[in-house]
Structure 1
């Protein structure tokens, strides 16, 4: 009988230790929102809208991910002044993180597609303007 109590006490100790280490591991997991905010700030720092000469010097970066799909917004940038590879890498990471967050938290949306704006060079700065959209 005494051996059974020792065995059960030892087993309970092992289970309690495992549960505590699991809870500590989940607490060490980086906060998804904090990481997303940091990535968004990096995107904003990397975007350069100035430095264009013609419209073809400008492009749009799709930013984020809506619950129903598609980007949350489009940010204009100058291809001649911005680190395009870094922007695309940051944009992809941010999109995946927002996708993950939406799925993990079961975020719902109204499933409205964000229209892709036109981008043009105005006074050496890349700017966006809405284009006409027709729902068919």
Structure 2
């Protein structure tokens, strides 16, 4: 009976020691992640914000006269693939070369961010909307799924 008590006590002690090791590992992981967030991941986030602001500036003026003046651009990348969202812009007022270059840089950095953080998503596919000129401004129109 005494030996059984020692076995239980030893098992409890081992379990608490192991639990302490797991918590220590989690704390170490948290500290490593925080220091990384203060470093390279933080810089990655800053770069993404700058590129996103640049795309917003480039597409701010959506002036148009007809539908052909409006285009759709896939923005970013989801962890499972496909764009995060779509932007519309006017070919009359947008430096298309600069916009496409900025968008490509943004997508590459977003992909790197997903890989570094191990980001997951629902893997849903976004249908590309149609750009049209409404009241002399480019807008996005959702496509009817049945018409695809």
TM-score (norm 2): 0.69
Aligned-partner SS, 1:31: helix
User: Which residue is 2:52 aligned to?
Assistant: 40
**How far did 1:28 drift?**
6.9
Q: Over the residues paired in the alignment, what is the CA RMSD in angstroms?
A: 2.1
- The residue number in structure 1 matching 2:84 is 72
1:56 is matched with which residue: 52, 59, 68? 68
Higher helix content, 1 or 2: 2
Question: Which residue number in structure 2 is paired with residue 82 of structure 1?
Answer: 94
In structure 1, the partner of 2:119 is 107
Number of equivalenced pairs: 111
Distance verdict in 2 for CA 1:69–1:28, change over 3 Å: closer
Query: Is the 1:68–1:111 contact (alpha carbons within 8 Å) kept by the matching residues of 2?
Result: yes
After superposition, give the CA deviation of every residue in 1:84-134 in whole Å (9 maximum; x if it has no partner).
001000000000000111011110111001110111001110001111125
CA–CA distance in structure 1, aligned partners of residues 142 and 116 of structure 2: 32
SS across alignment from 1:60 = strand
**Structure 1 pair 30/120, CA: closer, same or farther in 2 (3 Å)?**
same
State how far apart, in whole Å, the 2-side matches of 1:28 and 1:69 are: 24
Task: Please show how residues 117-136 of structure 1 align to structure 2 within 5 Å.
Answer: 117-134=129-146
Gaps of 5+ in 1: 1-22
Distance 1:51 1:93 in 2: 25
1:29 CA drift (Å): 7.8
**Partner residue of 2:108?**
96
Q: How does the TM-score come out when normalised to structure 1?
A: 0.74
